[in-house]
Amino acid sequence: MILTDFAKALAQLPDPRFRRVLWLGVGLTIALLVAAYAGLLWLIDALASDPITLPWVGQITWVGDLLGWGSLGLMLVLSVFLMIPVASAITSFFLEDVAEAVEAAHYSALPSVPRTSLWDGLRDTVSFLGLMLVANLLAFTLYALFPPFAPLIFYAMNGFLLGREYFQVAAMRREGRAGAKALRRRHGATIWIAGILMALPLSIPLLNLFVPILGAATFTHLYHRLRIRRGGPAPAASG
């Protein structure tokens, strides 16, 4: 059923409202990565601007070039880990737009709900971004201690965090914060598995740019499937 939710999200990509949010998210994610890499190159240039002189060797002028190419490889590796918190933060900003597009196409009989305030959305986004950054930094210790299990740790941890956040925000629009939390606890295993599905392609460069918006749509479908299974329409609460 989770794959069905994902397939529905994927099928809606031609929706103009859906694509607008998708490309906006992709554009902002690329802009952040380019800005981060530009800052790293500027730092390398500042540190390696003067040639290094070694005894019996003379001046070494290729250190800056070596660091520059090395930084490109480093950024490609780090993007696998940094993409998750960055893309998830962007998704949090636009999740309501994605949810509205999904509901308009698939759940049009439901009443409309007030949008979350800009302050509440910003607070939740910053909180989740901080949690994801801290969790992924701490995970590096586990990767070093248990190298063979690094992929399992990566997907399990990020799947849990992504599922927790995506479902909380999708359900909170109609269940309220407390109701969404209670529903998330009741279906924790299902949400975790769906989160792992989102984390799998997030580790693939370029493809990971498209996943956050699809993840938001997938969890909107997942929420409504659980709501229908529970029986009755969802309450139109947003706080």
C-alpha to C-alpha distance for 74 and 69, rounded to whole angstroms: 9
User: Closest Cα to residue 187, out of 152, 157, 221, 227?
Assistant: 227
Mean pLDDT, the chain, integer: 75
Answer yes or no: is pLDDT of 21 > 70.
yes
Write out pLDDT tens, residues 143-155. 888 888 988 988 8
**Which residue has better confidence, 235 or 213?**
213
What HEC string does 91-156 produce?
Answer: HHHHHHHHHHHHHHHHCCCCCCCCCCCHHHHHHHHHHHHHHHHHHHHHHHHHHHHCHHHHHHHHHH
Predicted pLDDT at 166 = 85
Highest mean pLDDT among 34-43, 75-84, 130-139, 188-197: 188-197
Q: Please tell me the least confidently modeled range out of 50-54, 87-91, 110-114, 188-192.
A: 50-54
Is residue 110 very low, low, confident or very high in pLDDT (cuts 50, 70, 90)? confident
Is residue 64 very low, low, confident or very high in pLDDT (cuts 50, 70, 90)? very low
| Percent of the chain with pLDDT strictly greater than 70 | 69
Answer yes or no: is pLDDT of 239 > 50.
no
Answer yes or no: is pLDDT of 3 > 50.
yes
Predicted pLDDT at 189 = 92
Answer yes or no: is pLDDT of 192 > 90.
yes
Mean pLDDT for 37-59 is 56
Is residue 173 very low, low, confident or very high in pLDDT (cuts 50, 70, 90)? confident
